[in-house]
Amino acid sequence: MIDLKLTEQDPHAPIRYQYAVEDVLYTGKSPYQEFAVVTNPFFGRMLLLDGVVQFTDRDEFYYHEMMAHVALHAMPSPRRVIVIGGGDGGVIREVLKHPSIEQAYLVDIDPEVTRISREFFPAVAAGLDDPRVIHAPMDGALFMRQFEGHADAILVDSTDIIGFATSLFTADFFDRARAILGPNGAFVTLSESLHFHFEMVRDVQKTLASVFPRVDLYTAPLATYGGNWWCFAVGTNGLDLRVPARETVTPTRYYCGDIHRSAFLPEFLYRRLMEEGRKGF
């Protein structure tokens, strides 16, 4: 075993996560980011982009299920979904579990992510060749400007809110998403951790609220994301995502109706989050 220690370079975290590394399976670069695939005795294989953990064999399903299933279960029969980022295929795999899905766009700026996921994370990449998946390797903001038609859900599974991912967190981008969603559509984007990025979470909510008639926030416990109490920011044209509209699709390992209902922030905490100047609850 190589006695390597991997210290994560999370741009916003006040602490550093360190992982033992057994093997380095791959390192490489694309025009967009640096890649590493390593193995850790507890988490198994881990994908890092620019030194930040994206997901691991052991715990990827928590995030991918919570990114896909809350919005989609709040709808009776979602047909068309757009996933921005998520080139590894984890969110797409979950989206495809909904029997009503007819088209799932996968819009990741970097095709190298998909290639690496296929090679090293076949269980995560399992849905990438499904005939309902439409691959659009390009910037998500450009895709949304060019996209014509409606979608039931737009799910943003990007890297942290820095660099080329920042184009996915602007009022213009959110406004484009609002226009693409029908009256019962939903927009969901990751928005960092309530423990470490409280003000950033508030900023995303404020920007969403400047565009969408209804906004909300739910969370999930993610062991390998800085701050662990990970946020999913929601914008809709009126649809309330807090109540699942149907039975849970199978199989899931974490998401279920009870998790869905309990994941949303209680009203009093949401009000505190939105108080200007607050740095925590």
Which residues of this protein are in contact with ligand SAM, per CB under 6 A?
A: 32, 49, 54-55, 63, 84-88, 107-110, 113, 139-141, 157-159, 164-165, 167-168, 190
Say if residues 191 and 201 touch (Cβ distance below 8 Å): yes
CA dist., res. 190 & res. 33, Å (int): 19
Give 65 or 152: the residue with its C-beta nearer to ligand SAM.
65
Give 54 or 239: the residue with its C-beta nearer to ligand SAM.
54
Give 65 or 110: the residue with its C-beta nearer to ligand SAM.
110
Give 65 or 108: the residue with its C-beta nearer to ligand SAM.
108
Residue 121: φ, ψ to 5°: -130, 60
Residue of minimal CB distance from ligand SAM? 85
- Give the nearest distance from C-beta 116 to ligand SAM in angstroms: 9
Dig out the tokens for 89 from the structure.
């295929």
For residues 155-185, b (16+ Cβ closer than 10 Å) or e, as one string?
bbbbbbbeeebebbbeeebbbbbbebbeeeb
CA dist., res. 218 & res. 205, Å (int): 11
- Give the nearest distance from C-beta 142 to ligand SAM in angstroms: 8
User: Annotated active-site positions, please?
Assistant: 157
Q: What's at 153, amino acid-wise? A: A
CA dist., res. 129 & res. 180, Å (int): 25
Give 220 or 239: the residue with its C-beta nearer to ligand SAM.
220
- Give the nearest distance from C-beta 277 to ligand SAM in angstroms: 27
- Give the nearest distance from C-beta 265 to ligand SAM in angstroms: 19
Q: What's at 254, amino acid-wise? A: Y
- Give the nearest distance from C-beta 88 to ligand SAM in angstroms: 5
Concatenate the DSSP letters of all residues of 176-217 into one string.
HHHHHEEEEEEEEEEEEETTT-HHHHHHHHHHHHTT-SEEEE
- Give the nearest distance from C-beta 76 to ligand SAM in angstroms: 27
Give 89 or 235: the residue with its C-beta nearer to ligand SAM.
89
Concatenate the DSSP letters of all residues of 206-247 into one string.
HHHHTT-SEEEEEEEE-TTSTTSEEEEEEEESS--TTS--SP
Q: Which of 69, 87, 5, 24 is nearest to 261 (CA)?
A: 69
Dig out the tokens for 220 from the structure.
């999930």
Q: Is the N-terminal amide bond of 251 cis, ω within 30° of 0?
A: yes
